[in-house]
Amino acid sequence: MIYEFEAKPTNARNRNAHSMDCDKCGRESVMHAAYSGLHLCEEHFLASVDKRVRRRIREDDLVPDDATPEDPQTWVIGLSGGKDSVVLTDVLHRTFEQDPRIELVALTIHEGIEGYRDESVAACEELVAELGIRHETVTYEEEFDVRMDDVVEKDPENMAACAS
C-alpha cells in the first residue's frame, strides 16, 4: 500500500478516547464510516473503498462496451502529488490493474513556480514507477511559453489573490 493509516479514536465522545475494534474482524479500527456506521480496520476500509468505486463505475456504465484489450479506453488521472490525487491514482490502479480494457495515464501539470512543484513532481514520478502507470508531465512553459513565476513577476498585485 502506498499510504499508511494512523490509528486514532474514531469517535472519542462515545469511547472516552479508547480505540474501537473493526466491526468486521476485531482488529483496531482506523476510521468510522459514517455512511454505514461501521468501524473499520485499514484492510476493511480499503476493501470498502474499492468496492464502492467498482460499484460506481459499474452503475454509471463508465467502461464502454467497445473497450477491448486490443483497443483500451484511456483514463487520464490528474496527479498533483497531493493526498487526494495519490489516493485516487492508487484506487484506480487497484481497480483496473487486472482489466486490460482500461489504460491509466497520470498527468501532472508543472506550473513553473520555483520550489513549489518540483518535490511533488518527483513524488508523482516515484508513485507511477511503483504502480507501473504511464506518466505525462506538462509544463506551462511548454504549452503557453510562460512560467507562473514570470506572470507573478509581471503582475504581483493581481497574483497575490491566488496565494491567499
In the block, residue with C-alpha cell 490502479: 93
Cα–Cα distance list, 81 to 5, 21, 90, 106, 120 (Å): 18, 32, 12, 11, 5
Contact predicate 131/89, CB 8 Å: yes
Mean pLDDT for the chain overall = 85
Query: Quick one: pLDDT at residue 35?
Result: 85
- Between CA 26 and CA 20 the distance in angstroms is 9
In tens, the pLDDT along 53-79 reads 999 999 999 999 999 999 999 999 999
Entry pTM = 0.75
Hey, what domains does the chain have and what are their CATH numbers?
A: 1-62 (no CATH), 66-164 (3.40.50.620)
Q: Give residue 159's pLDDT band: very low, low, confident or very high (50, 70, 90).
A: low
Query: Quick one: pLDDT at residue 19?
Result: 67
Higher pLDDT residue, 55 or 9? 55
